[in-house]
Amino acid sequence: MLDSNYFHYTGTDLSCDDVRLEELAGIYGTPLFVTSARSLIESYQTFEDAFKALSHFTCYSVKANYNLSVIRTLAELGCGCDVNSGGELYRALQAGVSPEKIIFAGVGKNAEEISYALESGVLMLKAESLSELRAIDRIAGELGKTASVAIRINPNVTAETHPYITTGDSKEKFGIDEAELPVVFSLLSRLPNIRLVGLDMHIGSQIFDPEYFVAATVKLLALFEASKELGFSIEFLDIGGGFPVTYDPLKPATPIEHFAEKLIPMLQPFGVKVIFEPGRYLVANASILLTRILYKKSNHTGKQFFVVDAGMTELIRPALYQSHHEIQAVTFHDETVMADVVGPVCESSDFFARQREISAAEEGELLAVMSAGAYAAVMGSNYNGRLRPAEVLVNGSQVKLVRKRETLEQLIQNELSC
């Protein structure tokens, strides 16, 4: 069982803070994302405490969970935002984040997005290619603005994680190759509408070993020194996100303090402001996906299936990355059974667990798919004509509906009859 102060049994009932999940399902239906505001706050404070000795600025990577209320909860604590598209920038601004606390990333920003970011007055755009630098310079010139830019480098450090979420390797599309940096510096001195304010990296996600951060930071610092010699005065070093969380109690995440112990002494002497972009760390364990068991069935091999009303359309991580999510019965049962927990979507990859020892819950009962705060709702889809679920935010005994369940009408609202 995943230990959490925020999702816990009160007697035999699983609750979020002071609210029973059964009650929430009764009011809002299922599938339902339930987020604990207190968990968000605690994760942010733990992160900030770990790095308090370092002059830094934390920008929540909103791609992990861009619900406005999640962004707002973190922003109210002083957190900035890392956005990856015009859509995410719009969300961050709508959530009330001030533009000078927003940094804009993305390997393929289009002209519209670059203009939007410049006109909004974001703290910086992170450029990932020579061509993009030229585009930013041109657009800034047209708008009569000077663009504050950070260069994202590809440090060629292959962090051990799922291959789909490693980004700091030369095989991948991200960042500018180290070898190209001299050309970048020389180009920058000829681009009148760009001011170089930072160097940036992001080596991947769910990285357990701090040594990968250390290896990449060594490279970032060497480039920082090189840039100083060339006369650039860089204000920010952006270390990216990628800090791990526990999905499986048998594989506990490295505590954030271990990353801080390694990184603070390396970065502090340089007297530059450090930016962190945690996504998953702040939100993954703040939410669960509440789902109801529709049917139970077994086959001639003795295999059992729990067919639930949520699926890969709400949480695609098991299908895409074979990732583990704990599953807890909302009403506690002593007995367990070995079963697959599967969704209603027409894909064999539509499962939450395979051959897992699951609480012996009955048809009609509720299950909680744990750690569903990061890369869950945001990666959702309407595949199979499914409606995006409702989302609620719990704080103590208070419950707020923060996203309404989609309707059938909304499914077709943008289509035109011809």
Dist CA 411 CA 389 (whole Å):
13
Cβ at position 360, least distance to ligand LLP in Å: 30
Amino acid identity, residue 414? Answer: N
273 three-state secondary structure: strand
Cβ at position 183, least distance to ligand LLP in Å: 22
Dist CA 149 CA 237 (whole Å):
12
The answer to whether 205 and 242 are in contact (CB under 8 A) is yes
Span near ligand LLP by CB under 6 A; candidates 40-48, 137-145, 275-283, 334-342: 275-283
Q: How far is CA 331 from CA 15, 16, 352, 360, in A?
A: 10, 13, 19, 10
Dist CA 233 CA 320 (whole Å):
42
The answer to whether 60 and 279 are in contact (CB under 8 A) is yes
Span near ligand LLP by CB under 6 A; candidates 17-25, 279-287, 306-314, 327-335: 279-287
Under the binding rule (CB under 6 A), the answer on residue 279 touching ligand LLP is yes
Among positions 185, 281, 306, 352, the unique one binding ligand LLP when judged by CB under 6 A: 281
By CB under 6 A, what part of segment 190-209 binds ligand LLP?
202, 205-206
Cβ at position 80, least distance to ligand LLP in Å: 12
107 vs 337, beta carbon nearer ligand LLP: 107
Under the binding rule (CB under 6 A), the answer on residue 155 touching ligand LLP is no
Catalytic one among 16, 79, 81, 346?
Answer: 346
Q: Which of 199, 326, 315 is nearest to 250 (CA)?
A: 326
How many residues of this chain bind ligand LLP (CB under 6 A)? 21
Mask of contacts with ligand LLP, 65-94, x by CB under 6 A? -----------------x------------
**Pair of tokens at residue 100:** 């000078």
Residue 337, classified by CB atoms within 10 Å of its CB into exposed (0-12), middle (13-18) or buried (19+), is middle
First to last CA, the chain: 53
Under the binding rule (CB under 6 A), the answer on residue 64 touching ligand LLP is yes
Under the binding rule (CB under 6 A), the answer on residue 213 touching ligand LLP is no
Q: Which of 276, 317, 228 is nearest to 47 (CA)?
A: 276
Under the binding rule (CB under 6 A), the answer on residue 289 touching ligand LLP is no
Q: What is the CA radius of gyration of the chain?
A: 23
59 vs 329, beta carbon nearer ligand LLP: 59
Under the binding rule (CB under 6 A), the answer on residue 165 touching ligand LLP is yes
**Pair of tokens at residue 9:** 């049994």
Dist CA 343 CA 345 (whole Å):
6
Cβ at position 137, least distance to ligand LLP in Å: 22
Under the binding rule (CB under 6 A), the answer on residue 61 touching ligand LLP is yes
Under the binding rule (CB under 6 A), the answer on residue 241 touching ligand LLP is yes
Under the binding rule (CB under 6 A), the answer on residue 272 touching ligand LLP is no
Dist CA 237 CA 18 (whole Å):
41
- Catalytic site residue 81? no
Under the binding rule (CB under 6 A), the answer on residue 288 touching ligand LLP is no
Dist CA 315 CA 380 (whole Å):
6
Under the binding rule (CB under 6 A), the answer on residue 175 touching ligand LLP is no
Among positions 31, 155, 198, 240, the unique one binding ligand LLP when judged by CB under 6 A: 240
Residue 24, classified by CB atoms within 10 Å of its CB into exposed (0-12), middle (13-18) or buried (19+), is buried
Tell me the catalytic residues. Answer: 346
Residues in the site for ligand LLP, rule: CB under 6 A?
61, 63-64, 82, 105, 165, 202, 205-206, 240-243, 277-281, 317, 321, 375
